[in-house]
Amino acid sequence: QVQLVESGGGLVQPGGSLRLSCTISGSTLDYHAIGWFRQAPGKEREGVSCINSSDDSTYYGDSVKGRFTISRDSAKNTVYLQMKSLKPEDTAVYYCAADPDYYCSEYGPKGTDFTSWGQGTQVTVSS
């Protein structure tokens, strides 16, 4: 069974940076598309970014484009989300998700596209 564990969340000041990690076990990263989602209190879940293991193509939501970078390290079975120039509106619980059949496209990921989820990590951007 595929398991995902996120880490790297925390409290950061506006303009700061954080790097989230998502480590997969029970399977190989190379067989899955990995997506990052976030959900703030009272808001719907938002697809932030996605990466395809087949060709390393990526997707970024408009709200994070130019500030966030997704990457993967197959040797470590880990996907990273580097977040820079953080804003208070980036505050949310961030989740990673994996699916062996989904392919990230220009239309962005939806939660229903993924079968395995991590437990989430809190990111708070505040002065």
75-96 pLDDT, tens digit each: 999 999 999 999 999 999 999 9
Q: Closest Cα to residue 24, out of 90, 74, 94, 92?
A: 74
**Is residue 109 within 8 Å of 47, Cβ to Cβ?**
yes
CB contact at 8 A, 47 and 111? yes
The Cα angle at residue 20 between residues 120 and 61, in degrees rounded to 5 = 85
**pLDDT, tens digit (0-9, with 9 covering 90-100), for 40-65:** 999 999 999 999 988 999 999 999 99
CA separation for the pair 32, 88 (Å, rounded) = 31
Lowest mean pLDDT among 9-13, 46-50, 88-92, 111-115: 111-115
Is the pLDDT confidence value at 26 over 90? no
